Amino acid sequence: MGDVNLNKADDVILTMKGIDKSFPGVHALDHVDLELRRGEVHALMGENGAGKSTLMKVLTGIYTKDSGSIWYEGREVEFHNTHEAQEAGIVIVHQELNMVGDLTVAQNIFIGREFKKGIMIDDKKMIRESRKLFDELKIDIDPKAKMSDLTVGKQQMCEIAKAISHKAKVIIFDEPSAALTEKEIEDLFSIIRDLRAQNLGIIYISHRMDEIKVITDRVTVMRDGAYVGTLITDQCTKEDIINMMVGRVIYEDPKTKSAVPADAPVVLKVEHLNAGKMVQDVSFELHKGEILGFSGLMGAGRTETARALFGADPKQSGDIYINGEKVEINSPEDAVKHGIGYLSEDRKRFGIVVQKSITENSTLATLDQYMSGMFINKAEERKITERYIDELSTKTPGPDQLVVNLSGGNQQKVVIAKWLVRNCDILIFDEPTRGIDVGAKNEIYKLMNRLAAEGKSIIMISSEMTEILRMSDRIVIMCEGRKTGEIRIEEATQEAIMDKATRDIK
Amino acid sequence: MTKKKSIFTQEVIVGIIVIALYFIFRGISADFGKYTTFLTLTDISYYYVLMAIGVAFPLITGGVDLSIGTGLICYALAGGYLIRAFSWPTGLAILVSILFGVAIGLANGVLVSIMGLPPFLATLCTCMITRGLGSVVTGSFAVPWPTAKQDNGWFHAIFKMTIVTADGKMKFPLGLVWIILLMLVMQFVLAHTRFGRYTIAIGSNKEAAILSGINVKFYHVMVYAVSGLFAGLASIAYAAYVPTVQPGTGAGMELDAIGGAIVGGVSASGGYGTIYGTVLGAYVIMLLKQGLPYIGLNANMQQIITGFVLIGAVVIDIIKRRAIR
């Protein structure tokens, strides 16, 4: 992509300088810089949680920055909402499409700013204008078609057309290719090239190394909310980028040696698991007393694998063996019967009943054990809850406390208690420390290690590299629905994991 | 943070309102204070309260059951018709009415839980179906159940017993005893059985309940079956109160029952509710409905006032929830 004059500083359309943003407990952006030129496709890369999306949200006015400045077309700007950013010509094409499926293509493109004829909406004009846009982009979509009848790729094209119709000068693509087929990606790229030729500035967020090489001119890498550096794509290798993405110092002690003997019995064996696009032919084994880390980038299919295994989502095929015996798991009910417990990444939605007490949550999966005849034995229920409050050192005034009043770490302990009460031998922790502060994190880690030492087997899905390296005995790496590698902790390095987690250059 | 427990829960406040309303009406209208009025009021209240107890369960799951009003008429018609046209014994006819209610409840449950229809829609459909079905069963004729004086009219005594005292005969509203008993039993079911716990869990966080390995589909069906069962029971109370059951009526009665449950503190968005609150709330609605005419306000005024009372109850619920989140 050598046709951009990278030395022409006056071609800069957008500069973000020293952007700082904190949320309670998290320093999300730490003095981040970004420079975008006219006629440039600029990749923004980084691991999950590196701060890419936050930075883009600051740019488009969804978040307000704490400090720093944004210069756009030569003057300092501050947008207070996406509408203001759009008016100025900065638009974002989201990964999740914001389309109203039941409206037509044209109605979607002009939603919120419909042309009017008197008090009536001028549909004909909207269709005409849409057609003009599509001609400009050289894409073939009927403006009168219903949005939900289009493929995801075509819907994305409509999103782009909508962006351009705002007279955009800067377009941000947030993982645009995630849901597209190869052919659709090619179409997308030819549109992006056209837009570049028209001197627009384009920010391209993606995890796919091959695409970065093909379509972008420069790459800015972020890590843990901080700016790492900017490279010229043509002059760097995949290794360069990965090193910048992961090159952090790990303060917490990483596990260097697995404590699990090589001949520990296999408690769970999954063979050729298939569940939709996100889980393709996944096989792995889990040993007794082991913590098996599942690493990968956002959308790698790790949670989907866990949900399919747990019976929460339907699977197309695949065999599951527990302690050597083949089992049928078609619902969470089946999974729980076979001693599997799942701790969801989204605790509030899937894990706990926030407005109920610790007691009610603790026995939710085991109520049948606390029945005397037809009735719940509330004394027994309370006793077991108190025992686990004690054992997990959950901080609460008592078992009657509503879960909503607990901190994130203590809520997580309530979910753990739920599965321990159930006597589950296989625990799936999906992002066990998400939204939990550092001190409580350590406690959860200690607890997981203790459970493993006591003979429980743990699958830990984590997007945090430090967590994976600190906790796992063995690491399974996934990328786009497939298992791409398996590393013992003794051989694991950040680079090796990231290399397998990103798609290779073809 | 510790949980602060105030004795002035919505249930207690509603209880006070019930008592206050009764004595206000008595104070204004001498007629209202008569024992016969009291008897009539209790007679009318039974089927409302029974419907309210039943519908509290779907409401607590975050759903609703709109089929109980027309359903009640349909079940009463079916039972009465068996007695009139085929000379069935009253006991058997009562059983059929109740089981009919359970069957429609199960159908609602299957539509909501297994087929995934929104509760509003599913029960609106069965509301229409039961309304038509009642007329079809009887050939559009009104059906009188046996009166209290007839031999096979013994079931009236379930609700209104005649007792002999020193100064002659006296009627005693025995139904109140049953209502209180059922209230206690169903409150116990809600608070102390698996079914009750899961009903609340479905309303609070259905996903979490599913992922805890609970057979949510089954319990969700049962919730509607309970609602149907109580609509069936209500049909008997209704048959004991009215001289004849008219086909095509009943629409709107469910709204009074639902309103009663919500006034009594059942959360309109699911996850919380008590049965004693529900019963008290139903009595608030019932007292407004029957009492306001005694103090010179017509039926239209009563509708308007009931509407405002409901808004008040829902606003309180929303404020409570906001405080929790």
pLDDT above 90 for B320: no
What CATH code would you report for A255-339+425-439+453-506? 3.40.50.300
How sure is the predictor about A9, in pLDDT bands with cuts at 50, 70 and 90? low
Domains of chain B by start residue, with CATH: 10-319 (1.10.3470)
Give how far B206 is from chain A: nearest CA, Å. 8
Asked whether B108 and B121 are in contact (CB, 8 A), the reply is no
pLDDT of residue B3: 41
Average pLDDT over residues B239-263: 92
What would you report as the CA-atom Rg of chain B, rounded to the nearest whole angstrom? 20
Give how far A429 is from chain B: nearest CA, Å. 13
Residues whose CB is less than 8 angstroms from the CB of residue A407 and which lie 6 or more positions away in sequence, other chains included? A395, A436, A437, A440
Amino acid found at B188: F
Least confident of A390-394, B17-21, B93-97: A390-394
Give how far B306 is from chain A: nearest CA, Å. 29
Selecting from B193, B200, B212 the residue whose C-beta is nearest the C-beta of A365 gives B212
Instruction: Please enumerate residues of A whose Cβ is less than 8 A from a Cβ of B.
Output: 310, 312, 331-333, 335-337, 342, 344, 349-356, 360, 364-365, 367-368, 371, 374-376, 378, 397, 400-402, 404-405, 418, 422
pLDDT above 90 for A271: yes
How sure is the predictor about A25, in pLDDT bands with cuts at 50, 70 and 90? low
Asked whether B231 and B51 are in contact (CB, 8 A), the reply is yes
How sure is the predictor about A448, in pLDDT bands with cuts at 50, 70 and 90? very high
User: Exposed, middle or buried by CB within 10 Å (0-12, 13-18, 19+), for B77?
Assistant: buried
pLDDT above 60 for B1: no
CB contacts of B210 in chain A (<8 Å) are: 312, 332
DSSP code per residue over A218-286? EEEEEETTEEEEEEEGGG--HHHHHHHHH-----SPPP-S--S-TTPPEEEEEEEEEETTTEEEEEEEE
CB contacts of B194 in chain A (<8 Å) are: 367-368, 371, 376
pLDDT tens across A355-364, in order? 788 998 888 8
Residues of chain B with pLDDT > 70, as a percent, come to 97
pLDDT above 60 for A68: yes
pLDDT above 70 for A63: yes
The complex scores an ipTM of 0.72
Distance of CA B218 to the CA centre of its chain: 23
pLDDT of residue A185: 85
Same fold, A9-89+168-246 and A255-339+425-439+453-506: yes
Backbone torsion region of residue A480, taken as left when φ is above 0, otherwise alpha when ψ lies between -120 and 50, otherwise beta = left
CA distances to A55, A378, B291 from B33, rounded to whole Å, are 72, 44, 11
The CA distance from A172 to A16, in Å, is 14
Selecting from A333, A353, A397 the residue whose C-beta is nearest the C-beta of B204 gives A353
What CATH code would you report for A9-89+168-246? 3.40.50.300
Asked whether B39 and B173 are in contact (CB, 8 A), the reply is yes
pLDDT of residue B4: 46
Residues whose CB is less than 8 angstroms from the CB of residue A58 and which lie 6 or more positions away in sequence, other chains included? A16, A19, A21, A29, A64, A65, A70
Give how far B103 is from chain A: nearest CA, Å. 23
pLDDT tens across B99-118, in order? 999 999 999 999 999 999 99
pLDDT of residue B205: 87
Interface touch B213/A335, C-beta < 8 Å: yes
Handedness of CA A301, A305, A308, A314 (dihedral sign): positive
Chain B residue with Cα closest to A402: B3
User: Exposed, middle or buried by CB within 10 Å (0-12, 13-18, 19+), for B91?
Assistant: exposed
Interface touch B211/A367, C-beta < 8 Å: no
pLDDT above 90 for B88: yes
Interface touch A367/B213, C-beta < 8 Å: no
The domain spans of chain A are 9-89+168-246, 255-339+425-439+453-506, 346-424
Burial A5-26 (b: 16+ CB within 10 A, else e): eeeeeebbbbbbeebbbeeeee
- Residue B155: name the closest of B101, B89, B246, B100 by CA: B89
The CA distance from A307 to A18, in Å, is 41
What rounded mean pLDDT belongs to chain B? 90
pLDDT tens across B169-211, in order? 888 899 999 999 999 999 999 988 889 989 999 998 898 888 8
Q: Tell me the β-bridge partners of B168.
A: B165
Token pair for A242: 């990965």
CB contacts of A375 in chain B (<8 Å) are: 188, 192-193
Amino acid found at B270: G
How sure is the predictor about A370, in pLDDT bands with cuts at 50, 70 and 90? confident
What rounded mean pLDDT belongs to chain A? 87
Chain A residue with Cα closest to B214: A333
pLDDT of residue B2: 38
The CA distance from A21 to A28, in Å, is 6
How sure is the predictor about A502, in pLDDT bands with cuts at 50, 70 and 90? confident
Interface touch A353/B272, C-beta < 8 Å: no
3-class SS at B67? coil
Average pLDDT over residues B245-252: 89
pLDDT tens across B27-83, in order? 998 888 888 899 999 999 999 999 999 999 999 999 999 999 999 999 999 999 999
Give how far B289 is from chain A: nearest CA, Å. 34
pLDDT of residue A237: 85
How sure is the predictor about A408, in pLDDT bands with cuts at 50, 70 and 90? confident
pLDDT above 80 for B213: yes
Selecting from B3, B194, B214 the residue whose C-beta is nearest the C-beta of A402 gives B3
pLDDT above 50 for A506: no
Give how far B213 is from chain A: nearest CA, Å. 4
pLDDT tens across A165-207, in order? 888 899 999 888 777 777 888 888 999 999 999 999 999 998 7
Token pair for A43: 């990749």
pLDDT above 90 for A119: no
The CA distance from A188 to A156, in Å, is 9
